[in-house]
Structure 1
Amino acid sequence: MTTAGVWHPVALSASIEPGSSAGTHIDGKEFVVWRDNSGAPHVWEDRCPHRGMKLSFGFVRGDHIACLYHGWQYDTAGQCRYIPAHPELDVPGSIRVPVLQTVETAGMIWMATEPTESAPPAPQETGETVPVRSVFFGAAIDAVLAAIETTPSRPFSDEAAAPVLRQIDGRLY
């Protein structure tokens, strides 16, 4: 193992419940972030080796994640363990999903882009991790900025957003 690696936060811990999965993108590559039923987080390439279906569209069964397309099941090491169409088959060891080093700390699930002995960066501030969301406005940036600048400052909420959105194009969303 190398001593340095690049860590990326890929999900808020609270957003990935045991037995669930979600897809994400880093540097143009797709990954699935999932938790087995015991709560352990995993980050893998988001592609079933069989037909290329996204594993993030699949489902978690105990400590396996299964592809939605044909139900192939992979264990926490990325090894295919069960093929429904051939239930008696001893699955070859070559059928596996690339897995990434995964750590959960500071309220986030992190993945390393290469094997490393280093830890993810420590948070700069203490306190709760706050999620953010991208918002699409179907308006020119000047109209969006003007609406935001003329809106009194207050904590963001649906009530605070409504006047801004009305100013942008005259419709209440």
Structure 2
Amino acid sequence: MGIIILPTEHPLQSIYDFNLKDAKGNDVRLSDYKGKVLLIVNVASKCGMTNSNYTELNLLYQKYKDEGLEILAFPCNQFGDEEPGSNNEIMDYVCTRFKSEFPIFDKIEVNGENSAPLYKFLKQGKWGLFGDDIQWNFVKFLVDKDGHPVARYYPTTSPLSMEYDIKKLLGTG
């Protein structure tokens, strides 16, 4: 199992309050995911952790999507210029190379002044050792069926090592 840091206080809102754009430019209301367990990940195509993370994320998605798991991938180019492509290039790469079927969203920033509101919300949970900023690509947030972030995982945490936590939230573990 990976390192889990639980928030010391719960945010006043849920992720269901956010509306975003997917990589194709379509509007997406996160409230459409009510009742699902979400794994939210900032991703990159040219990171040393890309192959292992996408491979394991795909395995988790295939195994648990019918039980209520959704993986939401947010491309970000803030770390080492490792996601330089356009949304179309990112979609083509991820869907062709990894055969990913989970939703890919519009490229965003996760830190700084231009940080996406969703990530400002995710980071506000007083995550202890993590501090406020996202450290690198593939930081993972596990969100319960009520839309509240319940765990944050380091970039180096293997998605498969989170399976127990996912099953517990799905009610199958």
Q: Same fold (TM over 0.5)?
A: no
Highest Rg: 1 or 2?
1
Question: Between Structure 1 and Structure 2, which shows a larger proportion of strand residues?
Answer: 1
Would you tell me which structure has more helix in proportion to its own residues?
Answer: 2
Q: Which has the higher contact order (CA 8 A, sep 6+)?
A: 2
TM-score (norm 1): 0.27
